Amino acid sequence: MPISEVSGQGPTQFIELGLAFLFSALIGLEREIRHKSAGLRTYTVVGTSAALFVLISKYGFTDVLLAERIVLDPSRVAAQIVSGIGFIGAGLIFVDQNRVKGLTTAATVWLVTAVGMGCGAGLPWLSLAVTGAYFVVAFVFPLIMRALPGSPVSTERRTDAEHD
């Protein structure tokens, strides 16, 4: 059977995977430029993998689903992605002399997973919006934080978010 005849493996799904790859790579590129512990390759792999998991959840079980009868719930695959990435994120967080390091990296891995899942679920505009929102957090928020009265952000002492 040609690939185009297999449900869930047509041009739409390849576009969804491609968007997950692109959006995740954009976020990973920013992390790479800032020399963070997880960068371009990590974020691209996580986001693209998440998209594939969602596509598997959407299309991979069509042969065992019956119309108007619940035999199994393929959406559970998506729920397990969230649990699994939480485990990976926890491994990125460290406490060193009363300072938390890696928290932003862990949160960004979580975010890029959601971006990949959104693309895999056929929600590219929402995934693009979240990718854009990430860049606001990464580039605009530090400027706002520096402008706040009493902000501890300076050249000698930076916030944990800037360290990670």
The residue type found at 56 is: I
Tell me, yes or no, whether 39 lies in a domain: yes
Say how far apart CA 19 and CA 117 lie, in whole Å. Answer: 11
**Structural domains of the chain, count:** 1
Say how far apart CA 52 and CA 41 lie, in whole Å. Answer: 16
Tell me, yes or no, whether 150 lies in a domain: no
Q: Which pTM was predicted?
A: 0.70
Tell me, yes or no, whether 87 lies in a domain: yes
What are the tokens at 68? 């108007």
Tell me, yes or no, whether 133 lies in a domain: yes
Beta bridge partners of 96: 99
Tens-binned pLDDT, residue by residue, of the chain (164 aa): 454 445 677 899 999 999 999 999 999 999 889 888 788 988 998 999 889 888 888 877 666 666 676 667 777 888 888 888 888 888 888 988 888 888 888 889 989 999 999 998 888 999 999 999 999 999 998 898 888 787 765 444 444 555 56
Residues with Cβ within 8 Å of residue 72, at least 6 apart in sequence? 61, 64, 65
